[in-house]
Amino acid sequence: MDVRQLEMFRAVAEEGAFTRAAERLHVSQSAISRQLQLLEQELGTMLLRRTGRGVSLTAHGELLLSAANRINREIQDAVSQISDTLALQRGLLSLGGGMTVSLYILPKLLKKFRSLYRNVDLRITTGESDLLLKLLRTGQVDLALLTLPIVAADLQVQPVLKEEMVVVTSGNHPLTRIRTVEARNLRRYPFVLFESGSNTRKVLDEFLLEEQSPVNVVMETENVEIIKAMVASGLGVTLLPYSAIAGELRTGRFAWARVRGRRLYRETGWVFPRSDYLPRSVTEVLRVFDSMKHQFGGKPPGR
């Protein structure tokens, strides 16, 4: 087994097809096929399942992919330490985030980062926390901004934002006439919420359970823009970070209220693999974010 074979194996596993892997590595498909046959013979096990639609990993293939990504990351880290000691000159940075983060935080952050480091290639993956945690562990994502809590011994978690969540309604909803709403009265209204199982939904479910105020959920989605569209159309009300609707309040499309006697918060943090060395690209993203932190997670005005 050599590094080149592992590189070919990673390419096939990530692309899901020999043809795309060959294009990515600029080699022939037959060369990749031959090297992976030799690798499977050496290990004495099948790593890939060939199907009409492409390839998928066996259990042993998943294990090798995790190791191959770890080796690749360590090689990249060594190269980074050697060649980018004084300046971040090149490389690839893979970031992950949920839908809300990808809409309201990453665009500003990456615009600033790109202005400082034009030669660093950026790759963004949007998805649920479980998917992004898996990609972090396999080395396919370097750093992710996720809703907390995240509890994992093999990952470093750095809380960075605490956003207040508020009741959001359409601009002509009856709740627009009040500034605070009793938690027990929320059950009167249909709700459009984040999908069950997401960390944001867990925060909301715990809040509603504590307040003994079960609500009628008429729609679930992880797409915050779909939630807002449904609320604006009058389908229901929702609970969102204030920052998600702050820019549209002047148009009258939305109104908001706090829950009386209670502040509801969602915490967000950077998550990355535990390591003795963090790539310079990762430390610079953390630094740039910290310098811009005041621009994110806007606070609702006092009422």
How confident is the model over 179-205, as pLDDT tens digits?
899 998 999 999 999 999 889 999 999
High-pLDDT (> 70) share of the chain, %: 95
Where exactly are the structural domains of the chain? 3-64, 81-158+279-295, 161-266
Neighbours of 274 (CB within 10 A): 11
What pLDDT score does 131 carry?
A: 93
What pLDDT score does 88 carry?
A: 62
Which architecture, in CATH terms, is 3-64? Orthogonal Bundle (1.10)
Residue 146 Ramachandran class (φ > 0 left, ψ -120 to 50 alpha, else beta): beta
**C-alpha dihedral, 76 to 78 to 81 to 83, nearest 10°:** -70
Please give the class, per CATH, of domain 81-158+279-295.
Answer: alpha beta
Please give, one letter per residue, the 3-state secondary structure of the chain.
CCHHHHHHHHHHHHHCCHHHHHHHHCCCHHHHHHHHHHHHHHHCCCCEEEECCEEEECHHHHHHHHHHHHHHHHHHHHHHHHHCCCCCCCEEEEEEECHHHHHHCHHHHHHHHHHHCCCEEEEEEECCHHHHHHHHHCCCCCEEEEECCCCCCCEEEEEEEEEEEEEEEECCCHHHHCCEECHHHHHHCEEEECCCCCHHHHHHHHHHHHCCCCCEEEEECCCHHHHHHHHHCCCCEEEEEHHHCHHHHHHCCEEEEEECCCCEEEEEEEEEECCCCCCHHHHHHHHHHHHHHHHCCCCCCCC
How confident is the model over 224-263, as pLDDT tens digits?
999 999 999 999 999 999 989 988 988 999 999 999 888 8
What pLDDT score does 89 carry?
A: 57
What pLDDT score does 82 carry?
A: 63
Domain 81-158+279-295 matches domain 161-266 at the CATH topology level: yes
What pLDDT score does 74 carry?
A: 79
Q: What is the mean pLDDT of the chain?
A: 89
Once rounded to an integer, what is the mean pLDDT over residues 139-144?
93
Q: Rounded to an integer, what distance in angstroms lies between the CA atom of residue 247 and that of residue 261?
A: 26
How confident is the model over 253-281, as pLDDT tens digits?
999 999 988 889 999 999 999 987 788 88
Once rounded to an integer, what is the mean pLDDT over residues 13-42?
92
Partnered with residue 143 across adjacent β-strands are 95
Going by pLDDT thresholds of 50, 70 and 90, the confidence category of residue 176 is: confident
Higher local confidence (pLDDT), 44 or 82:
44
Higher local confidence (pLDDT), 153 or 80:
153
- Please count the residues of the chain: 303
The CATH superfamily assigned to 161-266 is Periplasmic binding protein-like II (3.40.190.10)
Higher local confidence (pLDDT), 301 or 66:
66
How confident is the model over 63-122, as pLDDT tens digits?
999 999 888 877 877 766 665 544 565 678 899 999 889 999 999 999 999 998 888 889
